[in-house]
Chains A and B, each alone.
Chain A
């Protein structure tokens, strides 16, 4: 899939939903909250609706609509990110601001980038006179093939910057920002020399057990089917108070960290396979519980 040049549309949120680890009550994962949404379910009628509609879906018995640890779309990645990006979004108010996200593969650079884009778009939408969606272009630099053009919108999310050729890099540095970029190679100095005010985010610092647990459990909770509705809008309250029997315990997450370190992508791949074996063959869900 060619991700280059696609557009990421942010969703606004009149919040008050709040969440943990936020600076000012605003955050990335702000799902619209259903008025009086009944997490307790509505009894056997809805169950019948759901199972009938889902037919023999292998996930139906778990009241899930998918393997929670599969690949997510970009908007879902931004929604499910367990990150506080408010400081980063405020940083973008500065003249010629740049956010520089650096770290190895599988540690969440792209997720950071998308989360910042989502939160910024939401903020812009709230400030716009007509309350319309704000588009934040996401540009991915592939390891081969042509170099995508840099967008001219107010904020650009630029992924895998280390693959930019000199021309594109010069073009980016000659702009006025704001920029949010992810890269394997540190280009902080170049950005500063070009006059950018740089906020550096190093994602190589491992996530704590609690954060990793929340990341993984959010995936389970966001894959639930509630009252027959899938991918319905969830809010942070749902996520904090929500529960599913396949949610991971602290011990299970610790065991995963000991085995896979801080590479979240590898952990998710492992859990994908474990869930499939559990759902298809009845192998135990996870050993440490």
Chain B
């Protein structure tokens, strides 16, 4: 058994801007006399999801060393730096979370540990997308020199082998280069494809241009832009290593259809795409990443196409003031698959309509997910209904969950039955109505602890948040308290 219990309370629950300090209190409750070799509090970030877990320490402080007496409670305030990169990210295969961790190092006893999660929002990204860690140490000059010398020795030793390898492989590389690069350029001439800026903030426009002067008269099938955002996560290692891909966005737009090119006449095409506010940020770890790419392709009939792909760094929107704060720092509130590329026209009506449709779809999915979760819980309660102990365990475990409920009020009722007299007496002070939830096909007894609102009358449809507090087996009714 652990000799102490740790609890972390943060001073505020607001998301932190990257690098902003976070403060709170660690409370230690001791069961027996112990000597603490160090109560260490630190801020960290960690990835979780389909890929291997990657983590980094950001800041660390030892807030106490010494003895604790049995049965006492001790509090230690702390203030630590948060990471300036990466931000909190909730994806499908990849998530990035930030934690404050506390560990009490005890001799001959199990260390007490706990963590709390907090959210980090950032408004700029480092160019190399390198995460903040306190453990990164630059390589020493001597170590670097030794490694360099070893590298040189290896290179010299294997030079003949390398030369043979180059001779064998280079023709294939040459053929590939000829087909992919040289042949298309015979039609298109040199192509200048570039992003206006490689770093784009969510909610802003991604702009790119494609310019070329055709080398000969010909007709092309068209020019296509493709913007992609993909989560790439590798799990396992060695032969059991697997890379998992999840496409967050694939937006293909035609810059032009069939087009007659005239030798020497410059052709120019612009790409503009307003990224949604909730765009997934570009992220790069060893085994996990979120990659944004913009590809341009010139479709040449009966000839290898010209194709090039550029990396885009998407920076999160950052802290949002006002009503839309729920959208900040997360790709979940509004999925990152939004918008249409409208060359030369930002935030057009079409793009706005698509964004609205996507927001509606996201809201519908969230509603469906809420319903599915409530259904799962009701199913578990009904399955346990014939086993009092199991039912008590299930009810106890779900009491803190809140569910979105819509129910038709049928009338006031007396306080339902509860397993214990104590519970009955407590809930007898509340006002109860009988209601039916059509979405879950479930009868409910709803309790208002602070008195029944005047608009709650038979025939009214009530919607709100409620928590499960019991189940009446005879009436097969779910007992819920309304969260006001």
Tell me the smallest distance from the CB of A250 to a CB of chain B, in Å: 12
Q: Which chain A residue lies CB-closest to B371?
A: A282
18 further A-B contacts with Cβ under 8 Å, apart from A32-B110, A49-B13, A282-B371, are A14-B3, A32-B111, A47-B402, A53-B118, A56-B333, A57-B117, A57-B330, A65-B117, A67-B95, A70-B49, A76-B53, A244-B397, A245-B398, A246-B376, A265-B236, A276-B92, A280-B369, A282-B368
Is there contact, CB below 8 Å, between B377 and A11?
no
Q: With A and B bound together, what is the CA distance between A46 and B477 in angstroms?
A: 27
A91 within 8 A of B: no
Q: Known contacts A41-B400, A163-B238: does B54 contact A245 (CB below 8 Å)?
A: no
8 Å CB contact of B1 from A16, A242, A289: A16
Is there contact, CB below 8 Å, between A143 and B238?
yes
Q: With A and B bound together, what is the CA distance between A16 and B13 in angstroms?
A: 37
Is there contact, CB below 8 Å, between B5 and A14?
no
Q: With A and B bound together, what is the CA distance between A3 and B49 in angstroms?
A: 18
8 Å CB contact of B113 from A130, A231, A249, A282: A231
Q: With A and B bound together, what is the CA distance between A254 and B95 in angstroms?
A: 30
Could you show 20 A-B contacts with beta carbons less than 8 Å apart? A12-B110, A14-B109, A35-B29, A43-B400, A44-B400, A49-B9, A52-B13, A55-B15, A67-B48, A70-B48, A105-B240, A141-B238, A228-B116, A230-B117, A232-B113, A243-B394, A245-B377, A279-B369, A281-B365, A289-B383
Is there contact, CB below 8 Å, between A285 and B108?
no
Q: Which chain B residue lies CB-closest to A77?
A: B53
Is there contact, CB below 8 Å, between A67 and B365?
no
Is there contact, CB below 8 Å, between B115 and A70?
no
Q: Which chain A residue lies CB-closest to B94?
A: A70
- Number of interchain pairs (Cβ within 8 Å): 218
User: What is the 8 Å Cβ interface bit string for chain A, positions 37-77, against chain B (1 contact, 0 not)?
Assistant: 10111011011010011111110011101110011110010
Q: Which residues of B contact A282 (CB under 8 A)?
A: 365, 367-373
8 Å CB contact of B8 from A35, A57, A62, A229: A229
Q: Which residues of A contact B7 (CB under 8 A)?
A: 227, 229
Q: Which residues of B contact A53 (CB under 8 A)?
A: 10, 13, 116-119
Q: With A and B bound together, what is the CA distance between A70 and B194 in angstroms?
A: 38
Q: How large is the interface on B (under 10, 10 to 19, 20 to 34, 35 or more residues)?
A: 35 or more
B237 within 8 A of A: yes
User: What is the 8 Å Cβ interface bit string for chain B, positions 399-413, against chain A (1 contact, 0 not)?
Assistant: 111100000000000
B479 within 8 A of A: no
Is there contact, CB below 8 Å, between B5 and A278?
no
A1 within 8 A of B: yes
Q: Known contacts A229-B115, A289-B379: does B393 contact A33 (CB below 8 Å)?
A: no
Which chain A residues (268-284) contact chain B, with CB distance < 8 Å? 269, 272, 276, 278-284
Q: Which chain B residue lies CB-closest to A12?
A: B110
Q: With A and B bound together, what is the CA distance between A106 and B236 in angstroms?
A: 10
User: What is the 8 Å Cβ interface bit string for chain A, positions 125-136, against chain B (1 contact, 0 not)?
Assistant: 110001110000
Is there contact, CB below 8 Å, between B114 and A232?
yes
Q: Which residues of B contact A281 (CB under 8 A)?
A: 365, 368-369
Q: Which chain B residue lies CB-closest to A144?
A: B238
B10, B116, B239, B380, most chain A CB atoms within 10 A: B116
Tell me the smallest distance from the CB of A284 to a CB of chain B, in Å: 6
A108 within 8 A of B: no
Q: With A and B bound together, what is the CA distance between A142 and B402 in angstroms?
A: 47
Q: With A and B bound together, what is the CA distance between A35 and B236 in angstroms?
A: 36
Tell me the smallest distance from the CB of A133 to a CB of chain B, in Å: 8
Is there contact, CB below 8 Å, between B13 and A56?
no
